[in-house]
Amino acid sequence: MADRPLHVAVIGAGPAGIYASDILSKSGVEVRIDLYEKLPAPYGLVRYGVAPDHPRIKAIINALYNVLQRGDIRLVGNVEIGRDISVDELRERYDAIIVATGADRDAPFNVPGADLPEVYGAADFVYWYDGHPDYPRTWPLEAREVAVLGVGNVALDVARILAKQPDDLMSTEIPHNVEAGLRQSPITDVHVFGRRGPAQVKFTPMELRELGHVPDVDIIVYPEDFDYDDGSQAAMENSKMTRQVVEQLTEWVFQEEEDMTASRRIHIHLLQQPVEILGEDHVSGIRMERTELCGDETVRGTGEYIDYPVQAVYRAIGYYSSPIEGLPFDTVRGVVPNTAGRVLSEPDGQVLTGMYATGWIKRGPVGLIGSTKSDAQETIGHLLDDYRANMFSPTADELGWESMQTILESRGIRYTTWRGWELLEEYEKALGAQEGRERIKVVERETMTAISRGEPHDGKLY
């Protein structure tokens, strides 16, 4: 082992990158960790991929904050690897690189009509209402009836934000442009579709229960959409969470019609799969095919079709990672090719010494925070094994941050720091205090960057 600190660059300051950095920093090895993030703010999808009224978002951010505020992990924001700094430049100056960029875009969706203008990716919509600085400031909320495809928590977030009255979001950090957009929405009905049965949905019990408490929104579940097979029974017997979800859905099936008086409705349809988006120049409906369970929790089409009048379709069928210039990428699975976190070259599949992956870029967009932590444990374990085996050999005379700082400043890259994030957070909280809210997000990237760097700015928030 080298008679100097281990220098590690982590790409991506979301949960995957922060957990990996935290585990490595506590490994007992003398290490210098630089955490690179392409946005001026940390936390990744926790800040920009979770609905602002999500019940657990604050606890997750607090946990990530507690890691970074210690000061033993250097945050370098507003730096995009593959554009501002090349992967080769990192490899020359660090013993190891951990890729933790997550999954930041929507999975492909191919049915007839999917190219109509009112067919949207859920990720794009989430980025809009979460104030992502690199996405448009407006959103075309013109439909009265909307379809949401998918039965995971992202689909639930999208449906809830679409149906919720804007006044009920004003305790959250939504930016002013998002509030203005939601107030213009004429929406009355959101139809959420899942291809399998009630025991196979991916909603978590807490998020599903919260849905039932949204003011002026009725939840409607249909008895004809309920069916169970042997696999469903086994799933309910083996998982308390599955039972709780099914019980909640069942409760909504049997609610009295006269109790449903809200001005907006969320309809949950199961055992239906999309076959076509209807309309010539604009969405006018969606055609669904009824499915039936096969006994093992899978489904097959029945040949029975139902058309629903909708004017917009949101697909929440999963996320997909973006490639990084200079790194191998599996376009089929949407991941960096790896074996247990060690990155593999293409096309020969050889281990790239000193290159690692963790989180969704490693395993695909499945699993929650617990999976991200165990993922990081595995990846860091292999990194430390390779370090102890003297496998690292960066080539630059000067390693780590001092070398990278020189490059960034010579290129005029306005990078941000942890102190910069604290300044931005103080600014956002001050904005919120003016309206009796905890914070209001700054959306404009230039303003975010200037505030973080202590530079003059015009105060443009979005």
169-209 residue pLDDT tens? 999 999 999 999 999 999 999 999 999 999 999 998 988 99
Is residue 1 predicted with pLDDT exceeding 60? no
What average pLDDT score do residues 221-243 get? 92
Confidence of residue 371 (pLDDT cuts 50, 70, 90): confident
Mean pLDDT over each residue of the chain, to the nearest integer: 95
Poorest-pLDDT segment among 138-152, 160-174, 250-264, 265-279:
250-264
Residues 312-337 have pLDDT tens digits of: 999 999 899 999 999 999 999 999 99
Residue 103 falls in which region: left (phi positive, over 0), alpha (psi -120 to 50) or beta: beta
| pLDDT given for residue 38 in this prediction | 98
From the options 3.40.190.290, 3.30.2290.10, 3.30.70.330, 3.50.50.60, give the CATH code of 105-319.
3.50.50.60
Pairing mode, if any, of strands 299-308 and 285-293? antiparallel
Q: Which residues, other chains included, contact 62 with Cβ-Cβ below 8 Å and sequence gap of 6+?
A: none
The structure tokens listed for 420 are 């910069």
What is the H or E stretch that residue 35 is in?
strand 31-36
What average pLDDT score do residues 65-90 get? 97
In the chain, the N- to C-terminal Cα span, in Å, equals: 49
| pLDDT given for residue 93 in this prediction | 97
Domain positions in the chain are 6-104+321-415, 105-319
Confidence of residue 2 (pLDDT cuts 50, 70, 90): low
CATH number, domain 6-104+321-415? 3.40.50.720
pTM to 2 decimal places: 0.94
What separation in angstroms does the CA of 156 have from each of 19, 202, 328, 446? 26, 10, 33, 32
Residues 81-128 have pLDDT tens digits of: 999 999 999 999 999 999 999 999 998 899 999 999 999 999 999 999
